[in-house]
Amino acid sequence: MARSILTVILNWRTAPMTLRAAEAALRAMEGLTGAITIVDNDSGDDSFEALTEAVALRGWDKGAVPVRVLQSGRNGGFGAGNNFGIRAGLPGGARPDYIYILNSDAFPEPDAIRALFDRLETHPGTGFAGSFIKGEDGVSHRTAFRFPSVASEFEGAVRFGPVSRLLRRRIVAFPIPEATQAVDWLAGASMMMRQDLLDRIGLFDERFFLYFEETELCHRVADAGMAIDYVRTSEVVHIGSVSTGMKGWRRMPGYWFDSRLHYFTKVHGRAYAALATLALIAGAALWRARLLVQRKDRQDPPMFLRDLIAHSLRAALLRGKGRPAAPPSHTAPGREGA
pLDDT average, residue stretch 175-203:
97
Contact between 147 and 183 under an 8 Å Cβ cutoff? The reply is no
Contact between 70 and 40 under an 8 Å Cβ cutoff? The reply is yes
pLDDT band at residue 338 under the 50/70/90 scheme? very low
pLDDT average, residue stretch 115-123:
98
Whether residue 241 is predicted with pLDDT greater than 60 in this model: the reply is no
CATH number of the structural domain 4-246: 3.90.550.10
Q: Is 326 helix (H, G, I), strand (E, B) or coil?
A: coil
Beta bridge partners of 102: 9, 190
**Model pTM score:** 0.91
pLDDT tens digit sequence for 93-104:
899 999 999 999
Q: What is the largest CA-CA distance in the chain?
A: 67
Could you tell me how many residues make up the chain? 338
Q: Which of 65, 56, 53 is nearest to 90 (CA)?
A: 65
Q: How crowded is residue 182: how many other Cβ atoms within 10 Å of its Cβ?
A: 14
| CA distances from residue 329 to 106, 214, 326 in whole angstroms, order as listed | 26, 18, 9
pLDDT at 318: 81
Contact between 334 and 10 under an 8 Å Cβ cutoff? The reply is yes
Contact between 180 and 225 under an 8 Å Cβ cutoff? The reply is no
Helix axes 254-268, 213-223, angle to 10 degrees: 10
Q: Which of 40, 31, 45, 47 is nearest to 9 (CA)?
A: 40
Residue ranges per domain, the chain? 4-246, 247-320
Q: What is the DSSP string of 213-226?
A: HHHHHHHHHHHTT-
pLDDT at 54: 98
pLDDT tens digit sequence for 6-63:
999 999 999 999 999 999 999 999 999 999 999 999 999 999 999 999 999 999 999 9
pLDDT at 328: 47
Contact between 82 and 334 under an 8 Å Cβ cutoff? The reply is no
φ/ψ of residue 95, rounded to 5: -90, 125
pLDDT at 331: 42
Q: Rounded to an integer, what distance in angstroms lies between the CA atom of residue 4 and that of residue 35?
A: 8
